[in-house]
Amino acid sequence: MIFVNTDFVPGKTIKKTLGLCRGNTIRARHIGRDISATLKNIVGGEIRDYTKMMAESREQALDRMIEEAEGMGANAVINVRFTTSMIMQSASEILAYGTAVVVE
């Protein structure tokens, strides 16, 4: 599966546009991570636990988007984007979306 954040795949021709495909995940913070984050907030620096959690969330959202695109018969996804929204005070959604296409 090819996925790009442009509206074309270099060296390929879009033969068919299948429509929007998306994948998401919602993650809640962990109390242990919150304590660590609070301490980091005092002294400064990267909150590595959250960085890792967000990276894992993005990968899971991408995997789910690709799975949906493959189910539609696509072999590529163009215009891939991410968005994040807060669901509640301690939970966020990561959404990956794009346009499922068939390229040759």
* Domain spans in the chain, listed from the N-terminal domain onward: 2-103
- Residues 41, 87, 70, CA angle at the centre, nearest 5°? 110
Could you tell me the mean pLDDT of each successive run of 10 residues in the chain, 104 residues long? Answer: 97 98 89 59 74 92 98 98 89 95 98
pTM, 2 dp: 0.85
By C-alpha distance, which of 95, 103, 79, 56 is closest to 6?
79
User: What's the CA gap between 84 and 49, in Å, rounded?
Assistant: 18
The hierarchical CATH code for the domain 2-103 is 3.30.110.70
